[in-house]
Each structure stands twice: as C-alpha cells, then as structure tokens.
Amino acid sequence: MEKDPIIEVKQLRAGYNGNTILEQVSFGVLKGEVFVIMGGSGCGKTTLFKHLVGLIKPVSGSIIIDGDDIAHGDETLLRKVLRKIGVLYQSAALFNSMTIAENIALPIREYTDLSEKSIDTLVKMKLTLVNLDGYENYLPSEISGGMKKRAGLARAMALNPEILFFDEPSAGLDPVASNELDNLIIQLNKNLGTTMVIVTHELRSVCHIAHRAILLDKNKKGILVDGDPRYLRDHSTDPMVKAFFNGRS
C-alpha cells in the first residue's frame, strides 16, 4: 500500500435545508487502502457517501480525489473524476430489462470508443473477476441477490477505476452471500490494488475487510475515532466506541 492519499476530505460541512449533518470533517484515504465508514443510524454515513461520489455538493470544505477538488469543480471536472471511480450501490442498481452483460457494457459504451468485440471481451473479463462466468445472458431477475451484487460490482469495475465505492454492500444478503462478497472485496483489493471506500453497519464485515475505519457520531456531527477497527474493538477505552462495537450504539 502506498502512503500517498488518493482521497482527501478537508473541513467538510454538509447538511440539508439548513440542518447540519456533518461539520468540520477531515480525513484521508491512502492508495490501495480498504477504508470503511461506519456509525449508528443518522450519523451521516450516507450523506458522506453521496458527497464522496459527487452526488451532492458540500456546504463548505473540500473533497479532493486524485488531485481534483470535486467540491469546487464544474461538470467537466466531475465527469473526469467519475471516470476514475466505480460505485456499487446498495440495491446493485442493475437495469432489469437488460442482461448482465448489457448492464456491464453500459459505462464502457458511454466512455470509450471500443469495438463491440472488445467490449464483449472486456465484459467477460469483468464477469470472471467476480466469479460470474457464463451469466452474461441472464437477466437480473434470474439470479440471486448475492449474484446481483457481484454483477453490480463488475459494472462498477468496467472502466478499471482507481477507486471503488460501496454503499452497504452486505445489505439484504444472507450470511453466506455476505461472506462471499467480503472475500471477493479482499481478493480484488489484493490482486488489483484498487482503493476501496465502503459504507457499512455490518461490524463483522468491517473487522474482516478493513485496513482502517472511521466511526461517525451523530451528536458530534463528525468523526469520533479513526483507526484499525480490530484494534478499536479490542482495545479502545472510549465508552462510546466500546458501546458501538458491542452493539449498543
């Protein structure tokens, strides 16, 4: 893992309709890191996620992704940055009327001039990476929830992004499918070196996959603690951190 940050959030203030959700939030994500954003209900996890992927502009502060500040850039800059990232949404967000292959091919067709033969080859490569070989002609309705998540991940990886963002990847999955997805995330990070930013409330997953995590706090409107989640779970003396890891937050 390199030591340079690929994402830098500086003095971020975020909110809606005059209501502040996050205030003076600052952190960095290193290249190649599996970085988890965790916290209890209403702490601002989803709000932070939406800001990181460019869906919402902050009230103030900076969000610098690979040198570009998307908080203050125009649509051209945002489009440039979006080519460097992939996003797996909680629902997988697949188009039900399209096959798995057609879903994965969408961003390739939009952002490249590759031939159909090259697109077909690239789609098959991405399906192989997520262990879905042979499922290119299936519709989303014909595969399981865990397979949909993996298909969504294949689409998020279509353009070989430097950063992958995950919004509650284990949501709606049974323990076996959740564990398979966690292991796939670890494998892809190890083999490809892709930086991964994951929003989740699943403590088992956090301690399994994360190199580092931040814990957001609703009352503080910011980061309560930043560190290795396994160390925080086993050694933190902060009562709020202990309560969170013991399921009492």
Domains of the chain: 1-84+195-249 (3.40.50.300)
* pLDDT value at 183 more than 70: yes
Q: What is the mean pLDDT of the chain?
A: 93
Q: Is the model's pLDDT at 2 over the cut of 80?
A: no
For range 17-39, the mean pLDDT: 95
pLDDT digits (tens, 9 = 90+) for 78-132: 989 988 999 998 888 899 999 999 999 999 998 899 999 999 999 999 999 999 9
Q: What is the band of 17 on the pLDDT scale with cuts at 50, 70, 90?
A: confident
Element (H, E) at 216: strand 212-217
* pLDDT score for 248: 58
Please determine, for residue 1, whether its predicted confidence score (pLDDT) is greater than 60.
Answer: no
